Structure 1
Amino acid sequence: MAGTRFAPDRGLTLRMVATMFLLGLIYVLFVAALIALGVRALVVLAIAGGLLFVQYFFSDRIALFAMQGHEVSPQQAPELHAIVDRLAALAGIPKPRVAIADMDLPNAFATGRNQREAVVCVTTGLLRRLDASELEGVIAHELSHVAHRDVAVMTIASFLGVVAGLMTRFVMYTGFGGRRNGNGPPVGLIIFVVSGVVYTLSFLLTRALSRYRELAADRAGALLTQRPSALASALTKVSGEIARIPTEDLRAARPFSSFFFAPALSRQSVVTLLSTHPPLERRLEQLAQISRELGR
């Protein structure tokens, strides 16, 4: 985030570093366990590395394609571009590309591996439901993700989970599970259990980081605009509208929930520990605290 005017967040930086360290440690132990069991994991690692490469370098194109988003010019969306222009200049970051997804789900997301390759996308449902100040709060939130390089960090953080998931499938579908190491238990069973534990730990660590980065983006966006109440209003409105959308209409968007401004999930169906976003009440509480701080 160096070189930007977003408020520094040491908590986010420390959590990113700690998460990467723990994931790296788990990864080393995982590979060591596979080697000890005599497993040649090069194929799995190569596949996972390829997926990481594609996701890292083409995340913007993949996300836009999946969400039916398309880039728009200043002539096509002058008001949206004006907001992005002003906030990017205020934040001191390069202006990201601007896109619109033609869907009723009111939401927004930012993607791209760095500030130069970033794109901010909003849905037509969001544009219809929010006023200018609320939309500005949402865009400021998304620009914070761009400034913090959240997409790159989360892509790298998810690598270990991908490896463990692929290894589990490898054991299940190749018949490797019946092999035994001497008179001990089946090697495949050990790999299956170890992979499951590694995947679970990776999943929980990345979800915890994801929840905190949403709080960090809320705080940074509110301080940038100096209008936390507008962001709180947008959060309340978007969450309420999403809750009224039929579940079947949300299924296509659920795989991308971690990228969204607000999760495409019903709050009642999500356990906090497994959620990509903090509870709405927690986000509103933080914004109310920022309002009191700015009012002093």
Structure 2
Amino acid sequence: MNWITNYVRPKINSMLGRREMPENLWIKDPETGEMIFHKDLEENQWVIPSSGHHMKISAKERLKFFFDDGVYEQLENPKAPVDPLKFRDEKRYTDRLREARAKTNLEDAVLNGVGRVEGLELVATVQDFAFMGGSLGMAAGEAIIRGFETAIERRLPLVLFAASGGARMQEGILSLMQLPRTTVAVDRLKEAGLPYIVVLTNPTTGGVTASYAMLGDVHIAEPGALIGFAGPRVIEQTIREKLPDGFQRAEYLKAHGMVDMVVSRLEMKATIARLLKIMLKQPVEPDKDVLALPEPAEERLEA
């Protein structure tokens, strides 16, 4: 059997010109089960056309889609102590970091970029959930603060894309200290009179929602994003009650006043550019659909 599998079958395949099919060519819609060709999905910013489901994307892809022509200056993250607590569970923390860096090609869970969005220069800070769940450790905290400091130095607005499971347990209290440190950075940006917009993506939970992710001038959420401090299952077990449908999802939070807008990723760039121009008192092209007024009652009767 091994001889047939290892020699005969590959020989026949090579003679017939058959090629192995990569496993990731088609991606399944989690909501409908529909299969979508990965190139079509990538061209649509990883938003499934039929259902509108927003797939997770990397920090680099998000910056490429967000900035004009995908061009931006990547800021170097500050150096931070590695494994200050010498933490180990099933694996050493240093091993987990090494695996995450190899997987994402990032130094840590946060990436800063400076570029233009519809001609408006700004700083964008993005958390990558693929890097240890976007968890907030010392290096990530330093990177976020670097983004705010750059915005203050260059007098630019800052847009932050949050995606995180919360504080990084492997760094203990040192991770929790990033919450007040990043909050101070937000206050400094606001004291400088610069706009701060937060985009809440799926998921944004834990200590991130207890600090900088809920301190924006405007809070925008992607459709279907899970947003909250503790997860729904933990809350149900704590209060011993069934939660409402869609609890902690973007649409539910907007209906209850915790989120200002729910905006598709496909419209995010134009929406943020328009908001920032209004906040910076720059000329904005009128939106005919938004500004159109109904006809007076007399004219409608005459018609």
TM-score, normalised by the number of residues in structure 2: 0.29
Answer 1 or 2: which has greater helix percent. 1
Higher CA-based Rg? 2
Structure with the larger RCO, 1 or 2 (CA within 8 Å, 6+ apart): 1
Q: Which has the higher strand share?
A: 2
